Structure 1
Amino acid sequence: MADRIDALDRKILVELQTDASRSLDEIAKAVGSSKTPVWTRIRKMREAGIIGRQIVELDAEKLGFEATFFVLIRTSEHEAAWQARFLSALKSRPEVQEAHRLAGDIDYILKVRVANARAYDVFYQALISEVRVQSVTALLSMEEIKSTAALPL
């Protein structure tokens, strides 16, 4: 369906990425259409998997999660059993907001959100007790300059 996305679909998607909690009437007005065609297009894009689940964006710092660490992991183990244990360890830890397998010198990068450095250490100790890694480098983010899930449509 991605190749069948037209200009109106893109406008709708931009509006949904900006604030999906707005009413259908507000979104339709913003894109210059009426409610029924906008609703139909949104439904079709959901069915096609272009639009996924809708979530609420929370203020991490106001909820006590003041530290973001980017964790670089190198491993010499690449067999399926190790990867399954590693994936399971990551999925079971809500502190891990993102995890990516990389090309290059670093095998994985994690985005870990915790209350403070002590909480990161608890996370780190638990992770390395569950899966063996060659090296771990933790980088503390001093300031979040930009964060978005929006695609550049």
Structure 2
Amino acid sequence: MNVRIDELDRKILSELQRDAGQSLDEIASRVGSSKTPVWNRIRKMRDAGVVGPQTVVLDAEALGFEACFFVLVRTSEHASEWLDKFLATVRARPEVQEAHRLAGDIDYILKVRVKNARAYDAFYQALIKDVRIHNVTALLSMEEIKSTTALPLDSE
């Protein structure tokens, strides 16, 4: 569904990205509008699929998930059965925060958040048990420099 996004919508979206837990009054005040038009615009953007479900961002390290691995996957399999099994396996693993199919030498990259290297090894062993993979390379993130889900709405 196509929806037209104007400057006020962008301001509302920016506020929602900053803190979706704000009240409608707070958002309306920050974007220079009143509560009812802001609510109507949010509802319109939700209905159009521009705004998804509200979630909370948790601090992974505070909860003991101290290791973040980027897992590079190469496969020699390209049959639909293999792909279905791989996708189902990746989607079922709670450790996988992101998964992307890539162009180039690497077929997939996974962002995996675990408590430590031992937990990563358990993830890895389960992954290769469930699905045949030609080559897996794991890269440990030493430091998270930037992490955001916010889109650059102001740069349009």
TM bin, normalised by shorter chain, reads over 0.9
User: Aligned partners of 2:111, 2:3: CA distance in 1, in Å?
Assistant: 32
User: Aligned partners of 1:2, 1:31: CA distance in 2, in Å?
Assistant: 23
TM-score by length of 2: 0.96
User: Aligned partners of 2:82, 2:139: CA distance in 1, in Å?
Assistant: 24
1:122 alignment partner AA? A
Query: Paired residue for 2:21?
Result: 21
| Structure 2 residue matching 1:99: 3-state secondary structure | strand
Query: Paired residue for 1:36?
Result: 36
1:12 alignment partner AA? I
Deviations 1:14-72 (A, max 9, x none): 00000000100000000000001000000000000000000011010111100000000
1:74 alignment partner AA? R
**Count of residue correspondences:** 153
Tell me, yes or no, if structure 1 residue 98 matches structure 2 residue 124.
no
Q: Among all aligned residue pairs of Structure 1 and Structure 2, give the percentage whose two residues are the same amino acid.
A: 75
Query: Paired residue for 2:135?
Result: 135
Unpaired segments of 5 or more residues in structure 1? none
User: Aligned partners of 2:2, 2:65: CA distance in 1, in Å?
Assistant: 36
User: Aligned partners of 2:2, 2:145: CA distance in 1, in Å?
Assistant: 30
| Structure 1 residue matching 2:62: 3-state secondary structure | helix
User: Aligned partners of 2:116, 2:87: CA distance in 1, in Å?
Assistant: 24
TM-score by length of 1: 0.98
Query: Paired residue for 1:48?
Result: 48
Q: CA RMSD in A?
A: 0.9
| 8 Å Cα contact 2:97-2:112 kept in structure 1 | yes
User: Aligned partners of 1:22, 1:112: CA distance in 2, in Å?
Assistant: 30
2:145 alignment partner AA? I
User: Aligned partners of 1:36, 1:92: CA distance in 2, in Å?
Assistant: 40
2:134 alignment partner AA? Q
Deviations 1:79-102 (A, max 9, x none): 100000001111111000000000
Deviations 1:101-149 (A, max 9, x none): 0000000000000000000000000000111111000000000000001
Query: Paired residue for 1:83?
Result: 83
| Structure 2 residue matching 1:4: 3-state secondary structure | coil
| 8 Å Cα contact 2:70-2:110 kept in structure 1 | yes
| 8 Å Cα contact 2:3-2:45 kept in structure 1 | no
